[in-house]
Structure formats: C-alpha cells, structure tokens
Amino acid sequence: MAKVIFTIQYELKPDKKEEYISVVRELKNLLKADGLESYSVYEVKGKSNHFQEIYTFASEESYEAFDDNQNERINILINKLSDMTVENSTKYTTLYEIAEG
C-alpha cells in the first residue's frame, strides 16, 4: 500500500498564535485515527506566523476514509483553526507515494 501525505499551509492572524498552539495540542491528541500514521505541525522558518500541517496516512484508502471517521470535537477544532488564518492564505497539497519501500 502506498502512503499519502496531505499538507495544509497557511498564515495566522497576528494575534492568534497562543490560541493556535493550544488548539493544535488538543488536535494532536484527538487525531489518533486508524490509518493516520502521524500528524505534525511546523512553523515555516523565516516567515512569522506561517505554519504547515502534515498528515501522513498508511494508504490511499485510509486517506479517503479520514473525513468519515472524525468526531465532532475534531471538526470544531479544525473550524477554529480556519477562523485564525489570514483569508486566502491556505494552500493544500496531496502527495501519493509512487514507490513502496
């Protein structure tokens, strides 16, 4: 099974960093779903308030099923994150592994 990496990159509103970190910590604890191998958040070097979330899935099937498995609290937290970002700054990328190793 080939892995899938899904990334979300965005800029936070200037006054939201502390709240953002709190939401991300809670989200990390809740996102231990089947098929989700890891969830990490990184701050972009040299760009204040720019962050990237990286989701690594065990397979394309687990990636496709991910939205179906979420609980209500996860949805609330994801909506909070969206409200903290600068409008039109969000970029999504989905990567499909081509060679299994």
What count of other Cβ atoms lies within 10 Å of the Cβ of residue 75? 11
Tokens 């979300």 belong to residue = 8
- Give backbone dihedrals phi and psi of 92, rounded to 5 degrees, phi first: -110, 140
What count of other Cβ atoms lies within 10 Å of the Cβ of residue 12? 20
CB 51 within 8 A of CB 10: yes
DSSP assignment, residue 12? B
CATH of domain 4-95: 3.30.70.100
Tokens 């990237």 belong to residue = 52
Q: Where are the domains of the chain?
A: 4-95
Per-residue pLDDT of the chain (101 residues; tens, 9 = 90+): 789 999 999 999 999 999 999 999 998 888 876 568 999 999 999 999 999 999 999 999 989 888 776 688 888 999 999 999 999 999 999 999 997 65
Question: What's the whole-model pTM score?
Answer: 0.87
The C-alpha R_g of the chain, in whole angstroms, comes to: 14
What count of other Cβ atoms lies within 10 Å of the Cβ of residue 34? 9
